[in-house]
Structure formats: structure tokens, C-alpha cells
Structure 1
Amino acid sequence: MLALRLPPDVEQRLEALAKATGRTKTYYAREAILEHLDDLEDLYLAEQELIEIRAGRSTTIPLEEVMKQYGLAD
């Protein structure tokens, strides 16, 4: 179960969409979360890795080196 408050303008847009399509507001809220959850998780992981790199706890590999390693270099 999840309860959330939306800004009034977003609530009105969601209500109008639900009414126009015959679907529920919950349906559209769920769809929006599912659509963007992967992106938010990827962003979080990328930010954490950047922190690790900047702190010297992780290293990077140049793209050219990766391409050579997997036989993708020209």
C-alpha cells in the first residue's frame, strides 16, 4: 500500500486523464512508477559509482581498452 500527495495541478491532470480514459488514477500512478523505476535505480547506481571513482575506491577502463579486450577495435 502506498499513499502520496501530489501537487494540485498534477492531481487535476491525473484525474482528467483517468476520467477521459475510464481507467483509475491508481492505474496511471502505478504505470508511471513502473516506467521510471529502472531509470531511477540506474541513476542512483551511477551516482554511487561516481562517488567511488572520485574517492579512489574504484577505477575506470578506457573504452579503447575494452574494445580491444572484446575484439571490437578497428
Structure 2
Amino acid sequence: MSTQSETVTVRLSPETKSRLETLAEHTRRTKSFLAGEAIADYVERELAIVEGIKRGLADIEAGRVTPHKEAMRRIRATIDRAQKS
């Protein structure tokens, strides 16, 4: 996380707020620190998913695809080999 920070208001259910307070006590961290870490992790994960989708769409547009029947044939062959091992 950056050393500079900005303020964001987040609405939480009373249950989530209570659980965040409990976690803060147990970890000796502030609620703000934990919330900031959780949001940063979530954003990174979601952006990675979005980038993966964009790469997949680019592959489709470029014709880099495997027909369903061929993909299933390969999967079944891999499963058969693994079961024989």
C-alpha cells in the first residue's frame, strides 16, 4: 500500500462492522487498516479477472480458439491417461 492515503466512506452492516472490530482487536490493527487491506486485495483480484476476460476476448477476435468438441476430446484423453497411471 502507498504511504499516502485518501478517505473513502463505506457502509457496512452492523454484523460486518462488529466482526471487523473483533478482528481489529485480535490483530491489533485499526479497522481502517484492515478495511484498506481488504479493499486493495479485492481490487487486485477483480482487476486480474477483468484482464483475463479481456485476453480471452482478444483471443476470440484473433481466432485463437479451440472448438468445443476438440477441447472435450483433449480433456477426456487427459483424464484417461491420468486414470491409467
1:6 aligns with 12
- Alpha-carbon distance between aligned partners in 2 of 1:5 and 1:37, rounded to the nearest angstrom: 17
Output the amino acid matched with 1:38.
E
Where relative contact order (Cα < 8 A, 6+ residues apart) is larger, the structure is 2
SS at the partner of 1:46?
Answer: helix
RMSD between superposed Cα atoms in Å: 2.4
Which structure has the larger Rg? 2
Structure 2: gaps (5+ residues): 1-6, 67-85
> How far does residue 14 in structure 1 lie from its aligned partner after superposition?
0.3
Structure 1 moving runs of 4+ over 6 Å: none
Equivalent of residue 59 in structure 1, options 47, 57, 63 = 63
Taking a change above 3 Å as real, the CA distance of residues 10 and 59 of structure 1, as seen in their structure-2 partners, is farther
TM-score by length of 1: 0.58
Please say if 1:25 is aligned against 2:24: no
Q: What is the TM-score normalised by the length of structure 2?
A: 0.53
Distance 1:7 1:50, change over 3 A: farther
Q: In the superposition, relative to structure 1, how do residues 60 and 7 fare at CA in structure 2: closer, same or farther (>3 Å)?
A: farther
Identity of aligned residues (%): 27
